[in-house]
């Protein structure tokens, strides 16, 4: 699978769990039972690290609070400490607003985009 990472975990003598982490940060889990020759698939679980690019404004605080309320571990990068305004504009575009959120390798967008993403994926 191009752009995916597979984790194979033996759960028991006859059961193996496979977790596939896709390029966009989404995850698909498979559980295979050797005895019954059946597979169970669970898709779209929450994915790798969530990165918050912040300048410390009120919207950034709201985004951080939302993610913390959902018990999601975040890595917060702050303007002036971790990146420059020029680097931010280069990465996200001249019209980008703070905060910007990325999940795994997938750029989600600002606070409104993040709320929509979580609602569409039934995470809120």
For residues 34 and 71, membership in a common domain is answered with no
Q: How many Å apart are CA 47 and CA 114, to the nearest integer? A: 14
Task: Assign 41 a pLDDT band (cuts: 50, 70, 90).
Answer: low
Each residue of 72-105: pLDDT tens digit?
788 999 999 999 999 999 999 999 999 999 987 7
Q: For the beta carbon of residue 79, count every other beta carbon within 10 angstroms.
A: 17
Range of the domain at 84: 50-120
CATH number, residue 83: 3.40.30.10
Phi, psi of 19 (to 5 degrees): -115, 125
Provide the domain count of the chain.
Answer: 2
From the list 77, 116, 121, 68, the residue with the least C-alpha distance to 99 is 77
Are residues 58 and 93 located together in one domain of the fold? yes
Q: What is the arithmetic mean of pLDDT over 50-79?
A: 91
The reported pTM is 0.62
Would you state the pLDDT for residue 12?
53
Q: In what order do the strands lie in the sheet with 50-54?
A: 74-78, 50-54, 100-103, 106-109
- Are residues 15 and 41 located together in one domain of the fold? yes
**How far is 27 from 29, CA to CA, in rounded Å?**
7
């Amino acid at each position: 699978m191009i752009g995916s990472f597979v984790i194979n975990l033996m759960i028991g003598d006859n059961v193996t769990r496979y977790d596939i982490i896709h390029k966009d940060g989404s995850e698909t889990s498979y559980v295979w039972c050797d005895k019954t020759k059946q597979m169970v698939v669970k898709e779209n679980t929450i994915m790798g690290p969530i990165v918050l690019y912040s300048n410390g404004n009120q919207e950034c605080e709201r985004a951080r609070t939302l993610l913390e309320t959902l018990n999601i571990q975040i890595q917060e990068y702050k303007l002036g400490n971790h990146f420059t305004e020029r680097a931010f504009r280069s990465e996200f575009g001249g019209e980008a607003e703070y905060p910007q959120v990325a999940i795994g390798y997938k750029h989600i967008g600002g606070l409104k985009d993040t709320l929509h993403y979580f609602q569409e994926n039934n995470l809120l």
